[in-house]
Chain A
Amino acid sequence: RKEVEQDPGPFNVPEGATVAFNCTYSNSASQSFFWYRQDCRKEPKLLMSVYSSGNEDGRFTAQLNRASQYISLLIRDSKLSDSATYLCVVHGGGGSQGNLIFGKGTKLSVKP
């Protein structure tokens, strides 16, 4: 099982649609979780951290399910500007490395 897995997409949705991305991770000791957004030929930027209780930021909602080892990102009322690649990021638990593990990203394209 890969450390962090995401559906690569692309997800093609119309403006105003609700879209959800899932991400699974293999290390049950992982402690921190994030969603990053990356526009074409740009650097990744933090979209939101993911907390155990779930968290919401405007049209974006992130959820964590530790038992099933997956996190999700829900985008409501999609905008054209939401078109990007969304990276699931997991902070590894334990050991001297403890580095971030990046998923390969899910591409979202919002159409008029």
Chain B
Amino acid sequence: DAGITQSPRHKVTETGTPVTLRCHQTENHRYMYWYRQDPGHGLRLIHYSYGVKDTDKGEVSDGYSVSRSKTEDFLLTLESATSSQTSVYFCAISESRRGNTIYFGEGSWLTVV
């Protein structure tokens, strides 16, 4: 299995609080991604990174920010959590954006009450 660790794996938080999810990789892959998966929508890209301090928005980036200060770490922050952000969040990595296999972390289950 790819060396991807997500933390926390499960979290319950209150509406309006900030939340940070961490993704750590040991593969030295250049690209890192955050997806969310919801029933009826499948996997949707939130943000991705193509290098240290290089990030870009995905399909559903509103309400989320990311940071990548080291190759191995990619943080996803919910500035002020809302109930609509209750979801399972997957971090993923790949060597390049085109044609290479993407590997997923085990997921972080977030519930906003």
Q: Spell out A's residues near B (CB within 8 Å).
A: 31-32, 34, 41-46, 49, 87, 91, 96, 98-100, 102-105
Contacts and interface: CB of A to CB of B under 8 A. Distances in A.
Interface stretch (B14-22, B38-46, B63-71, B76-84): B38-46
Interface residues of B, number: 21
Contacts of A32: 98-99
Interface string B96-113: 011101111111000000
B105 A99 contact: no
Nearest to B105: A43
A102 B43 contact: yes
A87 B101 CA distance: 14
Contacts of B103: 46
B98 A44 contact: no
Contacts of A31: 98-99
26 contacts: A31-B99, A32-B98, A32-B99, A34-B101, A41-B107, A43-B90, A43-B104, A44-B43, A44-B90, A45-B104, A46-B102, A46-B103, A49-B101, A87-B42, A91-B98, A91-B99, A96-B56, A98-B97, A99-B33, A99-B48, A99-B58, A99-B97, A102-B42, A102-B43, A102-B44, A104-B41
